[in-house]
Amino acid sequence: MESLPEPGGAEACRYLRERGVETVEIFHDTSDVFHRSSGATRRPGPDPERRTYRSYAVFNDPDGNEWVLQEVPAES
């Protein structure tokens, strides 16, 4: 069985791209709540203050469902 990459938005996106999944770039949301589906408050790049649980990436599966990856801190 193949092991998954360590936690981290960039590593997860790279892992998916290497397997043919088209992902958008990492983004953060300026509304201080979970991402908005409209994208109106999405900004490119990770959260500028690097706050936990504030950076995301999105991809669509072959059926057209949108999946959101949320960056989480490494376990202490």
Domain extent listing, the chain: 9-70
Helix H, strand E, coil C: the string for 20-38 is CCCECCCEEECCCCCCCCC
For the entire predicted model, the pTM comes to 0.67
Confidence category of residue 30, pLDDT binned at 50, 70, 90: confident
Q: What pLDDT does residue 2 have? A: 59
Asked whether residue 76 carries a pLDDT value surpassing 50, the answer given is no
Per-residue pLDDT tens over the stretch 33-73: 765 666 788 888 888 998 888 888 888 877 888 888 888 87
